[in-house]
Amino acid sequence: MFPKQMFDKNSFKNVNENGKIIGFSFDMKIQYYRGITLSIIRNIEVEVDEKSYPRDSILFTVNNETFTLDEMRTVISNRWLFGQYARVTVLCENGLSQGQHHIKCIQTIAPSYMPFQIVGPGELDFEIQEDM
């Protein structure tokens, strides 16, 4: 719905915890025209350089709360606002290598009134810079 405006190009980075890289993260906006409770987000799929990551390796953070995709199914009082960046963290050993990458991310959202789900993909070339 807003494929070109989905990602924050400058948000891609490796996630460092206690001196160890535990994954990578990026910020994105919703591919839908209103804000929603996290409970109607059915899936978020991440593929970088044609490698896809398992569903249970993905964490979603918005309004200072973090959930797994399965946990999100019961979240009805935290809304991902229209136009708001949420952070997606993908847990994977060593994160991504420095340099150029390509991401494809698909949001699957199930608005109650629709007889089908919205599948909103976005793609972007991005760069992982040297760790600060």
Binding site for other proteins (CB under 8 A): 1-5, 29, 33-37, 39-40, 42, 73-74, 76, 79, 81-83, 110-116
**Nearest distance in Å: CB 111, other proteins:** 7
Quick one: which of 98, 106, 86, 92 has its CA closest to 126?
98
**Nearest distance in Å: CB 4, other proteins:** 6
Closer by beta carbon to other proteins, 74 or else 129: 74
Closer by beta carbon to other proteins, 69 or else 91: 69
Q: Are 30 and 36 in contact (CB under 8 A)?
A: yes
Q: Which residue has 């890289």 as its token pair?
A: 21
Number of Cβ atoms within 10 Å of the Cβ of 66: 11
Closer by beta carbon to other proteins, 3 or else 51: 3
N- to C-terminal Cα separation, the chain? 34
Closer by beta carbon to other proteins, 40 or else 92: 40
Query: Residue type at 103?
Result: I
As a whole number of angstroms, the distance between CA 42 and CA 21 comes to 28
**Nearest distance in Å: CB 12, other proteins:** 19
**Nearest distance in Å: CB 122, other proteins:** 11
